[in-house]
């Protein structure tokens, strides 16, 4: 998903100009399809999280609890905003008469064409492309922070935080 997204953001404009459309369309379909899968899995994950009680957190300083809570909320928001911004941006490529098709493994999906009727800047591809790009950078940073915090707790603090994140991990 990520390598295709980077290629699309850097090479797709040139591919559109040179007429190298077959590769572009194929990669866009894969990228869109995986985005819809991510959106569905994120919705399931959020539903699970809202309907099930989390295991209690081990004792930690107040600042760590606050940071963990903020990071988790931000990750959940990104799980929804990231694919939705891609869907919105893709819906605004092309024109109202000739929109770029949005596919889910070959099945044509409904674009968010109603965005064209909104006032600028909410009806521009650039806005949603920029949101999608910022989601990548913020999400990458938060994911890295999340992983490092889990490893810190496992190897330095030596508590069970990593076991909460990876239930199949053997307990010490």
Tokens for 25, please give them.
């369309």
Round to whole Å and give the CA distance between 39 and 154.
Answer: 30
Q: Divide the 172 residues of the chain into consecutive groups of 10 and give the mean pLDDT of each group.
A: 74 58 78 93 94 82 90 94 92 68 83 82 85 93 91 89 76 66
pLDDT value for 130? 92
Packing angle, helices 2-18 and 125-152, rounded to 10? 160
Helix ranges, 52-172 (H): 62-91, 125-152, 161-165
What pLDDT does 13 receive?
Answer: 60
CA distance linking residue 172 with residue 160, whole number of Å: 9
What pLDDT score was predicted for residue 142?
93
Q: H/E element holding 21? A: helix 21-51
């Amino acid at each position: 998903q990520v390598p295709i997204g980077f290629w699309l953001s850097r090479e797709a404009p040139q591919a559109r100009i040179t007429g190298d459309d077959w590769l572009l369309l194929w990669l866009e379909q894969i990228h869109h399809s995986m985005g819809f899968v991510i959106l569905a899995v994120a919705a399931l994950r959020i539903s699970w999280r809202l309907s099930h009680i989390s295991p209690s957190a081990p004792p930690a300083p107040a600042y760590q609890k606050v940071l963990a809570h903020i990071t988790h909320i931000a990750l959940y928001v990104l799980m929804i905003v990231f694919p939705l911004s891609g869907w919105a941006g893709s819906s605004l490529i092309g024109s109202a008469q000739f929109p770029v098709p949005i596919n889910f493994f070959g099945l044509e999906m409904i674009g968010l064409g109603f965005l064209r009727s909104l006032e600028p800047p909410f009806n521009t591809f650039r806005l949603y492309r920029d949101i999608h790009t910022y989601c990548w950078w913020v999400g990458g940073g938060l994911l890295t922070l999340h992983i490092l915090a889990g490893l810190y707790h496992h190897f330095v603090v030596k508590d069970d935080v990593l076991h909460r994140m990876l239930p199949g991990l053997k307990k010490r």
